[in-house]
Amino acid sequence: MESMRGKELPIFLLSAALIVAAAASVPRARQSQPPPTVASSVDREIGTIEKQIVEAAEAMPEGKFSFSPESLSIPGADYKGVRSFALQVRHVAASNYALWSPLTGDKIPDDFKGGNGPENLKTKADILKFLKDSFAEGHRAAATLTPQNMLQNAEHSTSSRLRLATFGVAHAYDHYGQMVEYLRMNGIVPPASR
């Protein structure tokens, strides 16, 4: 029995040494990261959908930005009056501003209202800038969230600050799904699926 314990002890010590060595090899930056907060958790979700939406928008060629499935005239399908790809992107951006501006206190320009954003945005570059700027608003909105204020209604809203912040993410995912279909109808594999 004594000799058996002698053999187990070195294995135990070796295992412990390996665990300590593995922990020591974790980069210091990761070890010293602060614990997640409400703000950082929501910001991460905004960043995730931002990446997918922006990459999908960038994947559609400018010449196809006006594409709508209505143009395919699929028998039995009812695509009459649906948004074009460009309007899908503009709608996400305009909605981002509408949902996240109450958290930041930023005033929404009048031409951002109405569901599809400014009418004068016609080029892919202009629409992408509008989209990216709207997600920057989302990151600023997430940064305002604290455990103390997250369940308070946002100014001029009947929704809590947390609800507006997370609904912006959910809404963007809904339109991301539609954008993916538009890409695939044009023979384009969405970047997230490559």
**C-alpha of 49 from chain center:** 2
Quick check: 93 and 113 in contact, CB under 8 A? no
**C-alpha of 51 from chain center:** 6
CA distance 20 to 17: 5
Alpha carbon separation from 20 to 14, 24, 35, 58 (Å, rounded): 10, 6, 22, 45
Structural domain spans, the chain:
1-33, 37-193
Alpha carbon separation from 190 to 51, 88, 153, 177 (Å, rounded): 12, 15, 37, 10
Say if residue 172's pLDDT is above 70.
yes
Q: What is the per-residue pLDDT for 31?
A: 63
Mean pLDDT is highest, among 69-83, 110-124, 147-161, 165-179, for 165-179
Torsion of CA 107, 112, 118, 123, to 10 degrees: 90
DSSP-assigned letter for residue 63? G
Pick the CATH number of 37-193 from 1.20.120.450, 3.40.50.300, 3.40.50.11810, 3.40.630.10: 1.20.120.450
Q: What is the per-residue pLDDT for 77?
A: 87
Quick check: 188 and 179 in contact, CB under 8 A? no
Interval 71-107: pLDDT, tens = 888 888 888 889 999 999 999 999 999 999 999 999 8
Please identify which residue in the block is written with the tokens 């294995």. Answer: 11
Q: What is the per-residue pLDDT for 27?
A: 61
Residue predicted with more confidence, 19 or 14: 19
Say if residue 20's pLDDT is above 60.
no
Q: What is the per-residue pLDDT for 26?
A: 55
Q: What is the pTM of this model?
A: 0.81
Mean pLDDT estimate for the chain: 86
CA distance 15 to 169: 44
Q: What is the per-residue pLDDT for 7?
A: 46
Interval 39-80: pLDDT, tens = 999 999 999 999 999 999 999 999 999 999 998 888 888 888
